[in-house]
Chain A
Amino acid sequence: METTNDHIVWLQELSKDDPMVAGKKCCHLGEMLKAEMQVPPGFALTLKAYETFMKESGAEKEILQLVENNKHDLQKDMNKCEEMSSYIINEVIMSRKMPDSLRDDILSYYKQLCEQCGVPDVPVATRSSGPVSMPGQFDTYLNVCGEEELIRRIMMVWASSFNSRAIAYRLQRGMVLQESPIGVAVLKMVNARSSGVMFTLDPINGDLSRIFIEGSWGLGESLVSGQVTPDKYIVDKITLDVSKKTICKKAMELVYGPEGDVIPRDISPEKQEAPCLSDEEIKELAKIGKKIEKHYGVAQDVEWAVDEDLDFPDNIIILQARPETIWSKKKSKPVMESKGNATEKIARGLIQGIKF
């Protein structure tokens, strides 16, 4: 990696071999930009930035001490984690000040991003980006506007490396508690009409010839948190035909309120049971999924959104892509053991019988 600053980099400066620079999510986003997949523009705070903050602010020292003193309690009693987590986040981390050099760097990149998007105080998302996969463990903040809010949210993402989920997760796996640096992706917010997830395989059976899409109105959080039963689409990866659509009743959506907070909003009755993606959008999304998978060489788990302000096909934005973990880890076993010729395989198949 070549960069002038080891605390902060533009996403496109990262490549997929750099998870130790700014975490997995950031380097995937960088990789996608390089492969010309539409992701929101943005920059990344490196693991180094996290370490610098923890060190220079004095937070690291205090946490080390705390963890050492309470080691036994923590391992025995999960409730302790909750308590400890809350203390570390609120009292140890959030009460501290962002070191000046770091603050200047962040604000300078943010200013450039605002200029690039043509929007003053452009709303951004601050997303956690761990160097190892710990899905859903860390926090992500959306619709972050303005300099002070940005600095605060970045610190909150860092602090989430000590949330109770993350502490418990590390304790359960015998991981070192105090050294878990995470990166932060700062991305322009997408003005999401619809959003959701996409797997470039069928999560039910691992079928690599299908693409599975879930989506609902508004922001993707309603779907991730389970507040809405999303529409489901299954697309044939080879023909790009939509093989199955399940349209669900989506009574609410999450949108940004005037304060930049995420608020629920009712969906008009006629829209509730309408599909949140058009057929051409489904196809385009699947096409992008196919491209991403081809680029990385393994099946992908993708977060996407459709930007209300943009025209098709530019409106389809990829928020995040990471390798699918469940099916891809299974060892691929040959379906037919026999090494024989075609006739022998047919004979064996006939004896075995078929199942449909």
Chain B
Amino acid sequence: MNEKRSFLTPHEVSAVPGTEGWERMYPYYYIFTTEDKEMEEYEKKMLWYYDGLHYPEPMYPFDLIWDEAWYMALSQNNSRIFSIPASMGIDHRIINGYIYIAPVGIDDPEVIEKRVADFMKRAGYYYENWDELYEKWKTKVTDVIKKVENVEIKELPELEDESVVFEAKGMSSGFELVRNYTNLINYGLEAWQYHFEFLNLGYAAYVILADFCKKVFPGMDDRTLSKMVGGVDVILFKPDENLRELAKLAIQLGVQDIIKENGNLINALARLNEEDNGKKWIKAFEDAQYPWFFMSTGTGWYHDHWTWYDKMDIPFGNIKNYINMLEKGESIERPIKQIIETKERLVKEYTELLTNEEDKATFQQLLGVAQKCFPYVEDHNFYIEHWFHGVFWQKMRELGRIFTDHGFFKDVEEIWYLNRYEIEQALYDLVTSWATGVKPRGPSYWRPEIDWRKDVIEKFRNFTPPPAVGATPEKITEPFTIMLWGVTTDSVENWLDASGISADDVTELKGFPASAGAVEGIARVIKNPDQLNDLQDGEILIATTTSPSWTPVFNKIGAAVTDVGGIMCHAAIVCREYGLPAVAGTGIASSAIKTGDRVKVDGDKGTVSIINKS
């Protein structure tokens, strides 16, 4: 029992055979080192856990940009801007393509006390002026989105337009392309600066309220808590709201049958265009798109999490569903009045249950701040991960097109195999070759490298990232780690229990009892949103993590199991909503369980048993 168990040190994890040299795909500062001894010691004494919450898949070199963005943005806000008392930032590394993170704490009580004073002043200012500052935030963010939208990625001309001469511009399209790319990257990093301007303060308010509630009401349902703090007018609901309006309009205009009878959007639009009312509907459909159709089908973190603009059949299909529901007489409205009433009743009843005046006052205070912060917590994803990323990925594909035209890549989608620094170099190669009229080095340099990288990423997919590496801490109390990633003292224990056993030999997994109930069924392992269509009724969804845009599939699954996530993880919340069993934070379910296995999920105990291997 007392035997000291430990994880591998980060330096002990070996490369997947055939991927040796993978480190060169990523910036050097992401690689665990044995050359810098002081750094090596530091790396050994930290607990690095796998961030499967954000990265269920191995990192494409370019997609690492958002990890780099929050590596800095989150950290600086904790450490240097708001002076979060006991936290510096979160450190990042990469192992075999998977991101590992380690929160850096502060232990010295004197330093912590000093930081409290600054925190009070600074965070206090934000909490007090939240609404006003949030309005400013929206302006800053929409401005940077506009800037990205206006970035021109243009093919290089054989001969520059005369305007360059007659307007005495003094610079070429080649230089502009280089500059525009740099701008694009900087706008991306800037957007992520804003992403974290409010986020940790918002989470902090929520986490401390949740912690208070757990202490006075250990059994309080997380869903109830989010109902008490949740906003009514949430931007993330807006895209779907537009689709519901379009469904209603289709019926009003009498064009619903055209929409229902045509399998895909293009055919439907062609038919609609033949009628006056159809034209009216098309106009409304077009008006409803911007910026709402930047809604991602995944989390928006990866380039292949396509938006509704990319996959128009998804919103179109939803409109059809809503039309069907309306025709069956079902209501598709969000019950706003009821939501507000419930919110007020919950707050009143919980307040009444508190048995002393101090607790009542604390509850009111913390709830007040959390309610103020929550609209931001709910809405920021749409602005950054959906809207901004959506535009950003489009621009990057335009750049990929230029590289492809110049023979650097076989197709646009190869651009993701270069990291952001490499693209800058490749682009310079491209424009200088354009300028000189000489053949670029790029094609012969990058094409074999990209082929190799594609193979490496594929091999990474078959690697099971250990849930953690590094030192085992006594206990974990860091609020963000627990709340967002579900990493607790217990889960680290469970991971240790499972370490040393090959994923193939695991027959029982432990995690968080995230949503009550027990069910048995066939497993379906989902590693990418594209695979969601394969889900059959009643199957058990097994995933590293799930995202809000997966919500529709929870209608047909029997239960959900995730590798990563705590009480606030999306799968847990939605399962409780739908009354399905869920176990979160198992660490290894998506690798230990294979599609077709028969599994039993016990959401009360937090266990998943593999009954039959397929």
Contact = CB atoms under 8 A, between A and B. Distances in A.
Given A238-B350, A350-B86, A350-B87, A343 B119 contact: yes
Nearest to A208: B353
B112 interface: yes
B365 A243 contact: no
A209 B215 contact: no
Nearest to A293: B353
B118 to A, nearest CB: 10
B359 A335 contact: yes
Contact of A335 (B210, B215, B516): B215
Interface string A177-205: 00000000000000000000000001001
5 contacts: A208-B353, A236-B220, A336-B358, A343-B124, A349-B204
A244 interface: yes
Contact of A350 (B84, B214, B219, B366): B84
B477 A237 contact: no
B355 interface: yes
A344 interface: yes
A319 to B, nearest CB: 25
Contacts of A205: 218-219
A354 B224 contact: no
Nearest to B113: A351
Interface residues of B, number: 50
A345 interface: yes
Contacts of A335: 212, 215-216, 359, 362
A341 B365 contact: yes
A343 B218 contact: no
A332 B86 contact: no
A343 B366 CA distance: 9
A236 B346 CA distance: 12
B478 interface: yes
Given A336-B358, A341-B365, A354 B221 contact: no
B604 interface: yes
A249 to B, nearest CB: 16
Contact of B217 (A209, A333, A342, A352): A209
Contacts of A356: 211, 214, 482-483, 488, 566-567
Contact of A342 (B87, B220, B369): B369
| Residue in A209, A245, A346, A347 with the greatest tally of chain B CB atoms within 10 Å | A346
Contact of A354 (B123, B216, B483, B516): B483
A347 B120 contact: yes
8 closest residue pairs by CB, A with B = A353-B477, A334-B358, A349-B208, A332-B355, A209-B217, A342-B365, A354-B211, A343-B124
Contact of B477 (A245, A346, A354): A354
Contacts of A241: 221
A236 B219 contact: yes
Interface in B178-234: 204-205, 207-208, 210-212, 214-221, 224
A308 interface: no
Interface string A192-235: 00000000001001011110000000000000000000000010
Contact of B205 (A236, A246, A336, A346): A346
Contacts of B123: 343, 346-347
A209 B219 contact: yes
A345 B362 contact: yes
A208 B355 contact: yes
Nearest to B213: A209
B356 interface: yes
A234 B211 CA distance: 21
B201 to A, nearest CB: 9
A334 B369 CA distance: 19
A3 interface: no
B483 A350 contact: no
A345 B365 contact: yes
Contacts of B478: 353
B349 interface: yes
B69 interface: no
A327 to B, nearest CB: 10
A355 interface: yes
Contacts of A239: 221, 224, 346
Interface string B100-125: 00000000000010001001100110
Contacts of B317: none
A351 B86 contact: yes
B239 interface: no
Contacts of B479: 349-350, 353-354
Interface in A231-277: 234, 236-239, 241, 243-246
Contact of A238 (B84, B215, B349, B369): B349
B359 A343 contact: no
B477 A238 contact: no
B484 to A, nearest CB: 12
Contacts of B346: 238-239
A94 B358 CA distance: 56
A234 to B, nearest CB: 7
Contact of A349 (B211, B216, B220): B211
| Residue in A239, A244, A245, A343 with the greatest tally of chain B CB atoms within 10 Å | A343
